[in-house]
Structure 1
Amino acid sequence: MKESPDLIRLRGLAFFGFHGNNPAEAEFGQRFFVDLELRTDVCEAGKSDNLEHAVDYSAVYLKVRHWMEQERFHLLEALATRIAEGILEDFARVSSVVVEVRKPQAPLPGIFDEISVSVERCRQE
């Protein structure tokens, strides 16, 4: 599948999860945010105006919600990788994906806005 210049973005998806290496994170949980960039050719969907020719971003959201709320990861790197690889497995029209997982209340000393990890994965030919 060739790389498309077209993008679908889902930004600021908010979830409550129990991810982290700290025992308190596993016990109490916290809010996480996810941003996605899905590369996909939208030409056919743009012409047909038919969801069957598009990436159903409602379905993408439900998959991400499952991984964020029903699975547990110690590292943001593992969580972001799971989401990226899962999207490529489940949505054939996506040629590549960028996933950023943001953790605004990481248990770190000091003042900061958030910690985030971003991964990019491409479909293998």
Structure 2
Amino acid sequence: MADSFTGDRIILKDLGFYGYHGVFAEEERLGQRFFIDLEIGLDLSMPARTDRLSTGTSYGDVYDVVKQTFEGERTKLLEALGQNIVDALFMAFPTVDWVIIRIRKPEAPIAMVRGEAAVELHRQRNSP
């Protein structure tokens, strides 16, 4: 499966958001910080050859989809939030073949002095 996640990719790291996702009432009421690392696999040969944004995928547009999805439906689990973002990216960008998303929660309600809780999803576009 790892071989499927090779080739060209767009990478966005440390995207910071404030949100209300989580299982506990305090998380829903007070919210907390989340950080997202994202890799999307797609063929970048055309924009590389033409140097024209119109032949590629805008990082700004990718960010907008992530932000809109993050701020949309509240989820209890990071896994569900990640899947919602993956689904939105596949819907918005038909040329995306795969997505790797890591969602980090530095203030997770567990007794840790330093560190963060995180999930990472690896998803491929479903073949027809």
Question: Residue type matched to 1:41 in 2?
Answer: D
1:102 aligned partner: 104
2:45 aligned partner: 43
8 Å Cα contact 2:43/2:95 also seen in 1? yes
What SS class does the counterpart of residue 69 from structure 2 fall into? helix
Task: Name the % identity.
Answer: 36
Question: Residue type matched to 1:105 in 2?
Answer: E
Distance, in Å, in 2 between the alignment partners of 1:38 and 1:92 is: 12
Distance, in Å, in 2 between the alignment partners of 1:58 and 1:114 is: 27
8 Å Cα contact 2:47/2:56 also seen in 1? yes
8 Å Cα contact 1:16/1:68 also seen in 2? no
Aligned-pair CA distance for 1:92: 1.1
Distance, in Å, in 1 between the alignment partners of 2:100 and 2:6 is: 14
Q: How many residues align?
A: 124
Distance, in Å, in 1 between the alignment partners of 2:56 and 2:38 is: 16
Alpha-carbon spacing, 1:30–1:46, altered in 2? closer, same or farther (3 Å): same
Aligned-pair CA distance for 1:4: 5.8
1:9-20 aligned within 5 A: 9-20=11-22
8 Å Cα contact 2:69/2:88 also seen in 1? no
The two structures have a TM-score, normalised by structure 1, of 0.92
Distance, in Å, in 2 between the alignment partners of 1:72 and 1:116 is: 17
The two structures have a TM-score, normalised by structure 2, of 0.90
What SS class does the counterpart of residue 70 from structure 1 fall into? coil
Aligned-pair CA distance for 1:111: 2.6
Question: Residue type matched to 1:107 in 2?
Answer: P
What SS class does the counterpart of residue 113 from structure 1 fall into? coil
Question: Residue type matched to 1:86 in 2?
Answer: A
Distance, in Å, in 2 between the alignment partners of 1:47 and 1:111 is: 48
Cα deviation 1:44-65 (Å, max 9, x = unaligned): 1111112221111101101111
Task: Please give the root-mean-square deviation of Cα atoms over the aligned residues, in Å.
Answer: 1.5
For structure 2, list consecutive stretches of 5 or more residues without a partner in the other structure.
none
1:114 aligned partner: 116
Aligned-pair CA distance for 1:13: 0.1
Question: Residue type matched to 1:73 in 2?
Answer: T
